[in-house]
Structure formats: structure tokens, C-alpha cells
Structure 1
Amino acid sequence: MLNDYGKSLFKPLCSVQNVVLAAAVIFILSLLNLSSSELASWAQALGSIAAIWGAFQISNRQVERQQSERAEERNRQASAFFAVAKNAVDAANNFVSFTQHSHSFMIVRMNWNLMYSHSIESSFDSLKLLPAHELGTYDLVIAHSGLVASVASILVQTRNSLGTTALPEQEYIFLLQELSMRLSNLNFYWVNFTDAFAAAYPEPIMSNASPAGTVR
């Protein structure tokens, strides 16, 4: 018994056009009043042609199936790459947005230690591990490098400033300004990344592509 894939390979051979053509050939041969040996030769010739045509059709369907499977795998991989990048950008956006809401140094430091540091660091590690050579285009590689550098700068700046038990007010204000500037830089590369991704991979759906605090 044939499975579903085997049946799908033979469907083109059982089309209405092929059935009508076969019937027409049989009818014409019957009108020619051929001898049994001549009829056998014709049947052999037609059988050979049908076998070649069938093999061609089956091979063509197999190639199409392989191409479709490769395209689906490429899109799944691309969607995973995009999700990793978006997670890192969102984590950085969420933290910097939190710092910009008039919270004191101690509140920002406490929330950094309890929550934000873990989310940013883990998402940043995943972002760094993305195989840049598999992203597909030059623009994606450049944008990915910019994302890595931007998130890294936010991490370094925050670790250095919040690693102390206290921070003078003027230095804290400077920290907030620095984080805001670095976030703008990050979102610049994120826009470039999403644009390059959409150009390279039109199939995967980029739902909620814009991170918090950005305007597309």
C-alpha cells in the first residue's frame, strides 16, 4: 500500500488529460488493424515512454518537496534568530525605560539586582551566540554586530555604576543620560535589523517587531 506521499507522486499520472490521451492512443491503434507483433511493439514503445514520463514526474515532485522542506526549515531558523534578537532588545528597553521614571538610585539598584540584570545578561548571552555567518545577508550581520555592541555597552555601564552601594546624585544623573543615549543607539540598530530581516526573510511573521519605547 502506498502512503500519502507515494499517492501524491502518482496523482499527476492519473489526471484527466493523461487518461483521455491514453484512451485516444488505444482508439487510434485499434483503427490501424495492426498485427499482434506490431501491436506488441507499439505497446512496448508506449510503455517505455510512459515509464520515462512517470520517472520524470516523480523526480520533479521529489525535488519540489525537498525545496519546500528546505524553505520551511530556513524560515523556522530565521524566526528563532529574530526571537533571540528581539528578546535581548526588549530586555534592555524594559530596564532603561524603568530607570527613566524618576526612581532613586537605591530603587534602580535593587531592581537591577533582583530582576533586570538576569534578564538582560541571559538574553545578551543568547544574542552573542547567534551564528552571524548564518544570518543570510551583509546588512543582517552588520545590524547584529551593532545590537551586540549596544547591549554590551548598556551592561558594562550599568554594572560599573550600580556596583557601588551609593552614587553621587550628579553621577547618577549622568548614568541615566548615558543609558538613554545607548538605548537610542541600540534601537537604531534594531530598526536596521528588522528592515534587513524583512528583506531577507519575507515569510516569517514578525509580530510586535518594535521593542518598548520605539516608534516604527
Structure 2
Amino acid sequence: MLNDYGKELFKPWISVQNIVLVIAMIFVIALLKLTRSELASWVQAVGSIAAIWAALRVVQIQQKKAQERISSELIAMAESILLLVREAGMQSAILASAVNCGTPLKVFRMNFLRRNKELMRFTLSALESVSISDLGSPLLLAMYLEISAAMSYMYRILEEVNTLDEDGVERYQMLCVDINSNNFWLQNMLKGFEAAHITRLESINDFK
């Protein structure tokens, strides 16, 4: 019984037209009434052609499988990066929502800063670890850098909030404005990144 590779090799030849062609060739050879030596020459010639075709077919199958493997790896990488960028966008939105509710400085530091500052630091570190070559297009790269810069700025804001005392309410309010404007910019970049990501996936699928 043939395995999947063998089935893939012979699949292009398994058709009604090809079966009829083979039968016709056998019939024509029979009509020629060839001698054993002539028949052996014919068989050798046909065998040589079949061997060449088989070798070419093997190369084609290997190339196709290699392209599919590369495409699958590129898609997996692109999806992972998209998840990371969306995580950054979600953290930024949560931070903006917290300050929009008029959360007092002391409450913000106790309930939000302790829990989310480290998470944002890990996300920022993950963003910085992504290779530029993995992004796949100049547009994705540009938006990725903008998102990374926005997250970095957001993290610096959290570090400054962490140093404020009770007299730093006015500065805290100014930083809240910065958080909102920075989040607005980041969310717009995220939408653009998602659109460019779809285009990227389409180009990868065309490569298959």
C-alpha cells in the first residue's frame, strides 16, 4: 500500500485520459510485432523517460512541501506578533480607562500600579525581543515601532507615578492626560497594524 508521499507522486497520472493513453500505446506496440530485442529497447526507453519524470516529480513535491512549511512558520510567527501587539493595546486601554474614571492617586498606586506595572514591563520586554526581519513588511515595521515607543513611554509614566507623594496630585493629573493621548495614538496604530497584518497573511498564502 502506498503512503501519502507515494500517492502524491502518482496522483497526476491517475486519470481516465492517461489510462486510455497507456492502453493505446500497448496496442500500437502489439501491432508492430516487435522482436524481443526491439521490445526490450522500447521498454528501456519508456523506463528511462518514466525515471526522469519520477525524479522531477519528487523534486516538485519536495519544493511544494518546503514552501508550505515555510508559509506555516511565517503565519505562526505573524500571529504570535499580532497577539503580542494586541496585548500591548489592551494594557494601554486598561490604563487609560483607570485614569478616565478619576481614580485618586493613592488608589491608583495601590490597586493598579502594583499589579499592572510588572505586566507592562514584561510586555515591553517581549516587544523589544521581536526581530525586525520577522515583521515582514516596512508598514508593519513602522507601526510596530510606534506601538513599542508608545508602550515604553507609558511605562515611564507609571514609573514616575510610582515616585509621586500626596503632594503630586497636580502632576498626576497631567500624567493622566498624557496617558489618554498616548493610548489614543497607540489604539490607532493597532488598527493599522491589524489591517497590515491581514495583507501580510494574504501575501504569505499566495506564496504557497
Contact 1:161 1:167 in 2 (8 A): no
2:5 aligns with: 5
Q: TM-score, normalised by structure 1?
A: 0.85
Q: Which moved more, 1:108-117 or 1:1-10?
A: 1-10
Query: Percent identity at matched positions?
Result: 28
Q: Distance in 1 between matches of 2:133 and 2:70?
A: 18
Q: TM-score, normalised by structure 2?
A: 0.88
Counterparts in 2 of 1:54 and 1:19: CA distance versus 1, 3 Å: farther
Q: What is the DSSP-based 3-state SS (H/G/I as helix, E as strand, rest coil) of the residue aligned with 1:201?
A: helix
Contact 2:113 2:158 in 1 (8 A): no
Q: Higher helix fraction: Structure 1 or Structure 2?
A: 2
The runs of at least 4 consecutive aligned structure 1 residues that moved more than 4 Å come to none
Gap runs ≥5 in structure 2: none
Q: What is the DSSP-based 3-state SS (H/G/I as helix, E as strand, rest coil) of the residue aligned with 1:102?
A: coil
Counterparts in 2 of 1:147 and 1:167: CA distance versus 1, 3 Å: farther
Q: Distance in 2 between matches of 1:113 and 1:107?
A: 9
Q: What is the DSSP-based 3-state SS (H/G/I as helix, E as strand, rest coil) of the residue aligned with 1:190?
A: helix
2:105 aligns with: 105
Q: Distance in 2 between matches of 1:114 and 1:96?
A: 16
Contact 1:10 1:58 in 2 (8 A): no
Counterparts in 2 of 1:167 and 1:30: CA distance versus 1, 3 Å: farther
1:55-94 superposed matches below 5 A: 55-94=55-94
Could you tell me which amino acid in structure 2 is paired with residue 183 of structure 1? N
Count of aligned positions: 204
Q: What is the DSSP-based 3-state SS (H/G/I as helix, E as strand, rest coil) of the residue aligned with 1:103?
A: coil
Contact 2:77 2:134 in 1 (8 A): no
> How far off is 1:146 after superposition?
0.5
2:122 aligns with: 122
Could you tell me which amino acid in structure 1 is paired with residue 7 of structure 2? K
Q: Distance in 1 between matches of 2:6 and 2:88?
A: 45
Alignment RMSD: 2.0
Q: Distance in 1 between matches of 2:23 and 2:8?
A: 23
Deviations 1:77-100 (A, max 9, x none): 111111111112211211221221
Higher relative contact order (CA 8 A, sep 6+): 2
1:151 aligns with: 151
